[in-house]
Amino acid sequence: MAINPDALQDIEAVVQGFHKGGYVLDRALATSIYLLIKLNKPLLIEGHAGVGKTEVAKVLAAFLRTDLIRLQCYEGLDVSSAVYEWNYQKQLLAIRLQGDSDRPIEERVRHIFGPEFLLERPLLRSIRHESSPVLLIDEVDRADEAFEAFLLELLSDFQISIPEMGTIKAAHRPYVVLTSNRTRELTDALKRRCLYHWIDYPSREKEMEIVRTRLPGMDAELGTQAVGFVQAVRQMRLDKPPGVAETLDFVEALAVIGNGQLDARAVEETLGCISKSVEDISRIKAEGIEKLLYH
Amino acid sequence: MLSQTIVDFCRFTRAHGFGGGVLDTLEALESVRVVGGGDGTSFKHALRTSLCSSKDEWDAFDDLFDRFWNGTPGKKHQHQESGRDARGSRILAGLTGQAVAQSQNDGKAVSGASAYDRLVKTDFSEISGNDQSVLEKIAQRLFKQLNVRLSRRRKIVESRIQIDLRRTIRQSTGRGGELVDLRYKGKKPRPLRLVILLDVSGSMNLYSVFLLRFAHALQNRFMRTNTFMFSTRLVDITGALCSPDVTDALKALSEIRAAWAGGTKIGESLRTFNLLYGRKLLARDTLFIILSDGWDTGEPELLASELHTIKKRVRRLIWLNPLLGLEDYQPVTRAMAAALPYVDVFAPAHSLESLMNLERHICSMSS
């Protein structure tokens, strides 16, 4: 049963709820999410790769005990894969089957453009859902501007027009989370529709807390050292600085490979968790793993 | 009472470069109401999430908030520089005031092409009025080819025709479901975006005026073009080139003294570009053209890393080097050597003929 937004007491409840879902939330982001729920406005989250933008939507869905509907954006994303599509095969069959009937043509047309021939794609599904779902529009910066304009319409009215059927209005407005990696600037109009939050790399303390929450059985000493190392690596000028996801992989890998003690050799063997580009790895090695480890 | 102050604060942020309007103010008021008075931090967080809409604003917010709520209220409206404005004005100051001094200093430091070399390459400077109209025509043709051959993204990915089942079926209901007429669909062609960076430093003197004409022609026929020129600094000249008359445009440009002549800092100019325009202009449908001889007084490492950033985000990175017209030219300057790994097309641009070749390069790669 989905949680009623009115039942949500205060921001602290959001922090607690997310903590249960394994997400360490600071007050600032908690406030944004609280407002997202209370005002039912879309929330645009920006930040570097791997800082947990997408995770917010997943945990939010669990927190509100509702479904998560995800739309992954990519270049060339169009209405037929984002909103709806007619089920052509079924339509063709239907036309064949009623070929000999004496129903008037208008009625036949109406029949094959009825709801049972409609294939829902994420956006349409989100507004036809029986209770307010969480709609995650992931990496919206990868879709093109034309699609953004379309989103704008959806996000302001929460309705979708299908020429053959008419307008479908959302019975329950979805909670919308948009994420962007800032590979391009989003249009002002879209940004203005949304609450905004920038997620930065976590501080050392916060990252430790994340490691503790996500990997409960972890050796504390090992975790501290690993986080310190990742924090030092982030200070370097890398093409792709490691995100929190990388830290978690790194700590897990160290626990499997290493002997519970963090040394240069163990780090070198697991460096692939932190950085996924040859250039960055050689940069880290050039900087000196020992130095980064015991800075 | 508080709401009046919040409204004032919204206006204060707008006076410091924030976007938004009445709706954002209403949203801010609503947010504060929902969050409840409570403690100061959620009040601040609520305002921040409502009023900001980009990282720049996000970063500037803390400072503005402190100044408004904890600072001296009497003077608040007199501060006019936000983080963004300050950056802009610093660059602008560089364009006007310091430019003369700088170009004198840098002028000496430039290794540049020797006087002899320059004489050999004066081909463009002797262009007659006749050739100029030819040039216009070439630019026009170039633009058309670019438009048609490069902007059909679907054609490049998959060349087969797609049947538009939706329209086909709709059509066929009237014929008892017989598929008589097939309807087809294709991707709506989207014009390619051109970004042109033109080196106008001392060593490029003989080419820059001609190449500016070329850029002007491209821009006037090609909707989505942004043109910049640089020597030690980067200047956006898209606006100046907008005038349909090329003489007017060049005149407008000559008044921007900052970027003209002097030394060359390609890497730094590219960094400025990436910082200020990168996210707006670099996309998979962008054709990025650098017109430069590659004499750089900056660090080649910087040039390489900035080019790497650009290369990752654009369709094609093209470097046109007028020096390539020389038979014995080798791209061995440190900057050129550092840049080459990231360049898709490295081609000459010293004559009309070489520009024709550029067209061939682009077309052969897109098919």
pLDDT in tens, B36-53: 766 778 889 999 999 998
Query: How does DSSP assign B168-226, residue by residue?
Result: HHHHHGGGTT---S--EE-PPP-PPEEEEEEE-SGGGHHHHHHHHHHHHHHHHH-SSEE
Q: With beta carbons less than 8 A apart as the criterion, state whether A84 and A121 touch.
A: yes
Position A262, amino acid: L
The structural domain count of chain B equals 3
Give the phi and the psi of residue A200 in degrees, each rounded to 5: -95, 170
Cα A229 to Cα A239, A246, A272: the distances in Å are 17, 12, 14
The answer to whether residue B181 is domain-embedded is yes
User: Which residues on neighbouring strands pair with residue B202, listed in sequence order?
Assistant: none
- A33 touches A99 (CB < 8 A): no
The chain A residue lying nearest B24, using CA atoms, is A192
Q: Is residue B6 predicted with pLDDT exceeding 80?
A: yes
Residue B157 has pLDDT above 50, yes or no: no
Which residue among B49, B59, B313 places its CB closest to the CB of A195? B49
User: CB neighbours of B365 closer than 8 A, spacing ≥ 6?
Assistant: B316, B344, B345
Whether residue B206 lies inside any domain: the answer is: yes
In a domain, B258, yes or no: yes
Q: CA A209 → CA A23, A248, A267, distances in Å?
A: 10, 11, 21
pLDDT score recorded for residue B129: 56
Looking at the structure, do residues B56 and B133 belong to the same domain, yes or no?
no
At residue B190, the pLDDT reads 63
pLDDT at B195 over 80: yes
Same domain, B76 and B194: no
Q: What are phi and psi of A50, to 5 degrees?
A: 80, 25
HSE toward the beta carbon, residue A176, CA cutoff 13 A? 30
Beta strands in chain A (DSSP E): 43-47, 68-72, 84-86, 118-120, 134-138, 159-162, 166-169, 175-180, 195-199
Q: List Cα–Cα distances, B338 to B198, B234, B288, B304, B308, in angstroms.
A: 19, 20, 17, 6, 10
- Average pLDDT along chain B: 71
Instruction: For residue A148, give the H/E element and its range.
Output: helix A145-157
Neighbours of A9 (CB within 10 A): 10
A192 to chain B, any CB pair closer than 8 A? The answer is: yes
Domain membership of residue B26 as a residue range:
2-80
Q: How many residues does chain B have?
A: 367
Quote the CA–CA distance of A14 and A27 in Å, as a whole number. Answer: 9
Q: Tell whether B24 is within 8 A of chain A (Cβ).
A: yes
User: What CATH topology corresponds to A5-77+129-197?
Assistant: Rossmann fold (3.40.50)
What phi and psi values does residue A174 have, to the nearest 5 degrees?
Answer: -75, 155
Question: Cβ separation of B34 and A34 shorter than 8 Å?
Answer: yes
Total Cβ atoms within 10 A of residue A115: 10
Rg (chain A; Cα; Å): 24
Tokens of B189: 């062609």
User: Of chain B residues 181-210, which have a CB less than 8 A from chain A?
Assistant: 187, 190
For chain B, say whether A88 makes contact (Cβ under 8 Å): yes
Claim to verify: residue B45 and residue B117 sit in the same structural domain: no
Minimal-distance CA residue of chain B relative to A183: B279
Which chain A residues touch B56 with a CB distance below 8 Å?
none
Mean pLDDT, 10 residues at a time, chain A of 295 residues: 76 91 92 93 92 93 94 85 88 80 81 89 91 94 83 86 87 93 81 92 93 87 89 87 92 81 83 87 87 78
Select the residue from B53, B65, B162, B302 to test the A interface by mutation, using most A Cβ atoms within 10 A.
Answer: B53
- Residue B90 resides in a domain: no
Chain B residue at shortest CA distance from A184 = B279
Residue B97 lies in a domain: no
Calpha distance B114→B76 (Å, rounded): 56
pLDDT of residue B106: 35
pLDDT for position A74: 86
B222 in any annotated domain = yes
Q: Are residues B36 and B166 in the same domain?
A: no
Three-point CA angle B46, A127, A31, nearest 5°: 15
Q: Rounded to whole angstroms, how far apart are CA atoms B183 and B205? A: 55
Q: At what angle do helices B129-150 and B352-366 cross, to 10 degrees?
A: 10
**Six-digit token string for A219:** 């050796």
- The reply to whether B208 and B282 lie within a common domain is yes
CB B310 within 8 A of CB B343: no
Nearest CA-CA distance, residue B114 and chain A, Å = 37
A10 touches chain B (CB under 8 A): yes
Pick from B169, B182, B187 the residue to mutate for testing the A interface (most A CBs within 10 Å).
Answer: B169
A–B CB contacts, 8 A cutoff, strictly below: 103
ipTM: 0.82
Q: Say if residue B20 is in the same domain as residue B129.
A: no
Mutation choice for A interface testing from B27, B30, B33, B49 by most A CBs within 10 A: B49
The better pLDDT of the pair B171, A21 is held by A21
Within 8 A by CB and 6+ apart from B142, the residues are B218, B355, B358, B359
In this structure, the answer to whether residues B138 and B10 fall within a common structural domain is no
Query: B152 near B162, Cβ under 8 Å?
Result: no
Identify the sign of the CA torsion B269, B275, B277, B278. positive
Q: Structure tokens of B68?
A: 């408004």
Domain definitions of chain A by residue range:
5-77+129-197, 84-120, 204-293
Which regions of A111-269 does DSSP assign to beta strands (E)? 118-120, 134-138, 159-162, 166-169, 175-180, 195-199
Residues B13 and B48: beta-carbon distance below 8 Å: no
| CATH code of residue B325 | 3.40.50.410
Asked if residue B75 belongs to a domain, the reply is yes
Question: What's the token pair of residue B4?
Answer: 């009046």
CB atoms within 10 A of CB B352: 17
Does B48 contact A at CB distance below 8 Å? yes
- Residue B269 CA to residue B271 CA, distance in Å, equals 5
Residues in B closer than 8 angstroms to A10, CB to CB, are 36, 38
Q: Which chain B residues are within 8 Å of A35, Cβ to Cβ?
A: 31, 34-35, 46, 49-50
Token pair, residue B87, equals 């950056």
Same domain, B197 and B179: no
Q: Residues B198, B212: contact at Cβ < 8 Å?
A: yes
Backbone angles phi and psi of B21, in degrees to 5: -150, -150
Query: Does B88 map to a domain?
Result: no
pLDDT at B355: 67
Q: What is the pLDDT of residues B302-359, one digit of tens each?
A: 999 999 999 988 888 989 888 887 777 787 788 888 888 999 888 888 776 676 666 6
Q: Dihedral through CA A67, CA A73, CA A76, CA A82, nearest 10? A: 10
Contacts of B31 in chain A (CB under 8 A): 35, 39, 195
Residue B74 pLDDT > 70: no
Task: Categorize the per-residue pLDDT at B234 as very low, low, confident or very high, splitting at 50, 70 and 90.
Answer: confident
Q: Are residues B144 and B180 in the same domain?
A: no
- Measured CA to CA in angstroms, residue B356 lies from B222, B294, B352 at distances of 17, 21, 6
Q: Does B276 touch chain A (CB under 8 A)?
A: no
pLDDT of residue B295: 83
Any B CB within 8 A of A110 CB: no
Q: Which pLDDT does position B231 carry in this prediction?
A: 83
pLDDT band at B363 (very low <50, low <70, confident <90, very high): low
